[in-house]
Amino acid sequence: MSFNLLDAAKGLFTNELVGKASSFLGESESGVTKALGGILPSVIGGLIDKSSSHDGANMIANLAGEQHNSGLLGNIGSFFGNDGGGLLNKGAGLLSGLFGNKTDGLIGLISNFAGVKSSSSSSLLSMAAPLVLGLLGKHAASSNMGASGIASLLSSQKSSVAAAIPAGLNLGSMFSGFSSDASHTVSHAKAAASHAVNEVEEKAVVQ
3-state secondary structure 12-50: HCCHHHHHHHHHHHCCCHHHHHHHHHHHHHHHHHHHHHH
The pair phi, psi for residue 80, each rounded to 5°, is -105, 10
Residue 146: CB atoms within 10 Å: 12
Contacts of 10 (CB under 8 A, 6+ apart): 40
Reading the chain (207 residues) residue by residue, the pLDDT tens digits are 589 999 999 999 999 999 999 999 999 999 999 999 999 999 999 999 999 999 999 999 999 999 999 998 998 888 887 777 788 999 999 999 999 999 999 999 999 999 999 999 999 999 999 999 999 999 999 999 999 999 999 999 999 999 999 988 887 667 665 544 444 444 444 444 445 445 554 545 445
Contacts of 109 (CB under 8 A, 6+ apart): 38, 169, 170, 171, 174
Angle formed by the axes of helices 84-99 and 54-69, to 10°? 170
